[in-house]
Amino acid sequence: MLFLPFLIIVVIAVAIYANRNKDRRRCRWRQNRHESDGALIRYNCITCGQEAFRSTGAPRECLAQLGRAKL
């Protein structure tokens, strides 16, 4: 009888843990120092193809919804 409430709590905890930082996990940022610009380091996402220049580390969010820069 005590097993069922415990099982429900475990399932809810696993569901919450699985969905945290969901938008960050979509992108995998790789550092590219060879094509960096001074203090700005270039980061490429191997998942969505976006690129970002940052001095404070890899982006924490997915930039795919911003689209590509138009020339």
Q: Map tokens 């099982």 to a residue.
A: 7
Domain edges within the chain = 24-57
Confidence of residue 67 (pLDDT cuts 50, 70, 90): low
Q: Specify the pLDDT at position 13.
A: 92
User: How many CA atoms, within 13 angstroms, populate the side-chain half-sphere of residue 4?
Assistant: 1
Q: Under a CB-based contact definition with an 8 Å cutoff, are residues 50 and 27 in contact?
A: yes
Q: pLDDT (tens digit, 9 = 90+) per residue, 5-55?
A: 999 999 999 988 877 766 555 778 888 878 777 788 888 888 888 888 888
Confidence (pTM): 0.55
Q: Specify the pLDDT at position 8.
A: 94
Distances (CA, A) of 9 to 6, 16, 20, 51, 71: 5, 11, 17, 40, 52
Tokens of 52: 């970002």
